Amino acid sequence: MNKLLIFALVAGTLGWAGAVQAEQLFLKDTLKTWDREKAGGGEGTLAGKFSFTRNDTKKEEAIKEIGWMTLKPGASVGLHKHDANEDAYIIISGEGIFTDTAGKESPVKAGDITIARKGESHALKNAGSEPLVFLDVIAAQQ
């Protein structure tokens, strides 16, 4: 092999050829489990499977957390405020009750999207007889 080809292979392997690329694909079987009891002061277990969490990201990365979340019947995420970030729930299946900053409760189901912007509060309760499954995406500005 010529020296240029060897250099290119080594540089590529070590990430020398530029900034190391962040992971872009997170397969279902490799997601991290992070279950939380009484999340946000709620009831029961908030079961989570994450590509990454706020503990894994760099300051300059806007998306701080993304994961599949499950609340069993009767379980909830309590009303909590987002002081430094924004949090969106994308409802995949099940039925729930979303509570906004003003305390207004609204039913949610598959296909609905909620968001708590910086400075706002929110809560979510499984109000049905099946698991409430949703995607949780937390983002923050630098």
CATH says 23-139 is which class? mainly beta
Q: How far apart are CA 71 and CA 126, in angstroms?
A: 6
> What pLDDT, on a 0 to 100 scale, did the predictor assign at position 17?
41
The mean pLDDT of 54-70, rounded to a whole number, is 94
Q: Tokens in use for 23?
A: 């992971």
- Decide if pLDDT at 11 tops 70: no
Percent of the chain clearing pLDDT 70 (strictly above): 84
Provide the whole-model pTM.
Answer: 0.83
DSSP structure string for 10-59: HHHHHTTTSSPPPP----GGGPEE--EETGGG-SSEEEEEEEE-TTT--T
Residue type, 23: E
β-strand partners of 87: 116, 138
pLDDT of residue 23: 87
The mean pLDDT value of the chain amounts to 88
**Helix (H) or strand (E) run with residue 7 in it:** helix 3-14
Contact in structure between 75 and 63 (CB atoms under 8 Å): no
